[in-house]
Structure 1
Amino acid sequence: MVTNAQKANGAGNIPLGIPTQDQELAVRARLTQALQMSLDPSEIISLFFHQIQPLVQMSGVLFKSATTKDDARVGRESLHHCDYRLTTDEGYLGEVIFSRSKRFSEDELARIEQLLSLLVYPLRNAVRYQTAMRLALLDPLTLVGNRAALNNSLKRELQLANRQHQQLSLLMIDVDYFKKINDDYGHHRGDLILCDIAKNIQSVCRSTDSIFRYGGEEFVVILSNTNSLGAEIIAERIRQQIANTQIFHNGIGINTTVSIGISTHNGENNEEMESLFERADRALYRAKQSGRNRTINSTVMPLFHQ
C-alpha cells in the first residue's frame, strides 16, 4: 500500500512521449518478473528504477528503510521529487523518494503510484530476508556478532590482509572469575554483565573493528590493518575501560575484569585462521595463569599488567 504521498513538485510539464497501453502492459510484465529475481533491497530498488524509465523518466530513487539504517539509492538526487510512504499488512516498510530535474505531471504521479503497487511486496520480502540474515549473525544476548559471523568475517579479513600485504590482529577477551559472578549474583545478573562488557568493548573500539561473542564469557575482536603494537594499545584500553566500570546489583557495586590474548598476522605468510586463533588463545591462557586482568601478546612478554 502506498500512503501519504508528498508531491513536493506540484504538477507541471506533460511528458514528451505518452506510452501506449501495450507499452505500459509490457513494462509492468517485465517489472513484475524482474522484481522476483532478487532478495537484496538495493538491487530491488535499482531494478525498479531502470525498468520504469520507459514509462516515467527520473534521475534517481532513494529508499529509506523503517527497520535498518541502510538506505538504498540509485541514480542522483535532483531538484524536484515525490515522496511515498510504503505500508503493508505488517506495518510501515519505509519511504521511497523519486527525483528529477523537471516536475512530474499528474499523469506521471498516478503512473508511479500504480507501479509502486508492484514494488511493495518484493521489497518487503527483501527487507524481511536481509533482516533475518542479519539476526542470524548476531548474538541474541549482547547483540554483537556471533560465532558464525566471526568465522565469516575473519576468513574474509585474512584473505584481504594477504592480498594487500597488511597486518591483522586478533584479541581474545575472557571475563575473569565469571562463574563466581553467576554463583554470587545469579545468571540474570551475569547476563547483564556480559551485555555491559560488550558495550564497553564497542565504546573503545574503532568503527573499522569487528566485535563478536565467541561463546560463554569470551569475546573476540578483529582489528583490520593493525600491527602488534596497535593491538596492544587497543587491548589495554578495553581492559582498563572494563576494570573501571562498576555495575550495581541491589545497591552493591560489582567490579569485573578481563584477560586478553593478542595475536597478529603479518600479511605475508598466508597464515590459516586456526593458527591465528591458537596463538591468541595461548596468550590468553598465559594472561589467566599470570594473575588475570592483564593483556599478553603472543609474540612478546606482557607489556601491560596489574
Structure 2
Amino acid sequence: MINPSQIRELSQKNDKVLQIATLLHTSLSVEEIIAQFSEEIGDVIHHNSLSYVNEKLDINVLFGQSARHSCTYELSINEQSLGLLSLTRDKSFSDEEIEQLERLICALHYPLRNAVLYTVAVNSAHKDPLTGIGNRAAMNTALHREIELASRHHRSLCVILLDVDHFKSINDTYGHAAGDHCLQSLVKCAENSVRISDLLFRYGGEEFMIILPETDESGVLRLAKRIRRRVERLETTYQNQLIRMTISLGITTLRESDDEKTLFTRADEALYKAKQEGRNCIRIAASD
C-alpha cells in the first residue's frame, strides 16, 4: 500500500518533469534545449558532462567534461530517432538515479523532437535538393558572414564562380535527367577538390559559387585550375552514354570596400569574360 509520503514524492517528481518540459518548449534550438536540460536536472542527478549526438543532422554538442562512468540513451518518438543522450560523472549511477533520470528524460522528448523538425526544415530551405549542397539563400547568408569575419579579423577571402559550358546542349542532346546527373558529378568533383573550410553552393541552374576563407589570389587560382582540369577529365556516364563537360570560372578577392553585391558582381564579370574568351578557362577580376 502506498503511503501519503510516497504519493507526495511521486507528485513532486511529476511536477519536476512538467516544469522542465514547459521550460524546454520555449526554444527551438537543439543546443539551447540540451544546455537547459542539463542545467535543470543538475540538482537532481549530479553529472560532470551531458552530450547529445544526432549524426543525421550532424549535431554534436557537449556540456562539461567527460568522466569515467556514463549513462547513454537512444531517444525516439514513434520510431523516429532523435539521437543519443549521454551523461557522465566520476562515480557510477545508482538504480534509483537511473530510474529518476529516465523519468526526467520524458520532459526532453517532445521539445527536442520539435527542435529537430525545425532544424530539418531550416536545413531543407537552405539546401539544393538535386546536389545536396547549399542553395542561393544559404550562399547569401554565408557570403555575408564570411565578409564580416574577414573584415573584422583582417583576413583574406576569395570567391570562385563557375558555370558549365554549353549546358543547354547537354540537356538537348542527352535529356534533362542526364543533365542533372552531370551536375551531381560536377559537385562531387568539386567537393573532392576543395578544403574542408571552403563552402560550395549552387545558385543557379548550372552556376556554382565557392567561398574560400583565408585564401589569397594565388591560392584561389591554384584551386580553380585544379577543378577546371578535373572536370575536363571527368567521364560522366548516364544510361551507357559517356558525357564530357567543361567549365568556365571567374575569381576575385575581397577588397576593403566590398559587400556581398560588389564581390559577387566582380566575380560574375570575370566569369562572363571567361565565357566570352573561349570557355573552359579561368579569368581573374580586373583590379581597380
TM-score where L is the length of structure 1: 0.87
Structure 2: runs of 5+ lacking an equivalent: 1-7
Within the alignment, does 1:115 sit opposite 2:76 as a pair? no
Q: Distance in 2 between matches of 1:130 and 1:151?
A: 19
State the 1:23 CA deviation.
5.9
Question: 1:96 and 2:112 equivalent?
Answer: no
Q: Residue in 1 aligned with 2:277?
A: 290
2:227 aligns to what?
Answer: 238
- The partner residue of 1:150 within 135, 139, 147 is 139
- Please give the alpha-carbon distance, in whole angstroms, between the structure 2 residues aligned to 1:217 and 1:53: 52
d(CA) in 1 for partners of 2:36, 2:98: 19
Which residue does the alignment assign to 1:162? 151
Indicate the residue corresponding to 2:200 in structure 1.
211
Q: Provide the residue aligned with 2:264 in structure 1.
A: 277
- How far did 1:53 drift? 1.4
SS of match in other structure, 1:85: strand
1:19-168 equivalences under 5 Å are 24=13, 27-65=16-54, 67-168=56-157
CA offset at residue 270 of structure 1?
2.9
Find out whether 1:256 has 2:245 as its counterpart. yes
Query: Take 2:112 and 2:279, find their aligned partners in 1: how far apart are those partners?
Result: 50
For residues 11 and 39 of structure 2, what CA distance do their matches in structure 1 show? 19
Equivalent residue for 1:182? 171
Q: Give the deviation of 1:26 after TM superposition.
A: 5.5
Instruction: Provide the residue aligned with 2:5 in structure 1.
Output: none
> Aligned Cα RMSD in Å?
1.7
Match of 1:173 in 2: 162
My pick for the range that moved more, 232-241 or 92-101, is 92-101
Please give the alpha-carbon distance, in whole angstroms, between the structure 1 residues aligned to 2:97 and 2:166. Answer: 67
Question: How many residues align structurally?
Answer: 280
2-side partners of 1:34 and 1:285: how far apart? 54
SS at structure 1 position matched to 2:117: helix
Paired with 1:296 and 1:215, the residues of 2 have a C-alpha distance of 20
SS at match of 1:81: strand
Structure 1 position 251, deviation (Å): 3.0
Q: Which runs of 5+ in 1 are unaligned?
A: 1-18, 301-306
Residue pair 1:167, 1:265 contacting (<8 A) in 2 also: yes
Q: Secondary structure at the match of 1:242?
A: helix
Alpha-carbon deviation of 1:27? Answer: 3.6
Aligned counterpart, 1:7: none
Of stretches 77-86 and 59-68 in structure 1, the one that deviates more from structure 2 is: 59-68
Q: Residue in 2 aligned with 1:304?
A: none
Give the aligned residue type for 1:172: L
Distance 2:80 2:15 in 1: 31
Of residues 197, 201, 212, the one that matches 2:190 is 201
Partner Cα separation in structure 2 for residue 25 and residue 251 of structure 1 = 63
The structure whose residues are more often helix, as a share, is 2
Q: Normalization by structure 2: what TM-score? A: 0.92
1:261, 1:281 within 8 Å by CA — same for their partners in 2? Answer: yes
SS of structure 2 residue aligned to 1:232? helix
AA in 1 matched with 2:167: F
Q: Corresponding residue for 1:11? A: none
Residue by residue over 1:208-251, the C-alpha shift from the partner in whole angstroms, topping out at 9 and shown as x without a partner, is 11100011111011111111111111111111111111112343
Residues 28, 115 of structure 1: 8 Å contact kept: yes
Distance 2:101 2:167 in 1: 58
Q: 1:157 to 1:63 in 2, by over 3 A?
A: same
Secondary structure of the corresponding residue to residue 216 of structure 1: coil
Q: 1:128 to 1:229 in 2, by over 3 A?
A: same
Displacement of 1:274 in angstroms is 1.2
Percent sequence identity is 38
Q: Is the 8 A contact 2:189 2:230 kept in 1?
A: yes
Aligned residues of 1:162 and 1:270 also touching (Cα < 8 A) = no
| C-alpha contact (below 8 Å) 2:199/2:212 kept by paired residues | yes
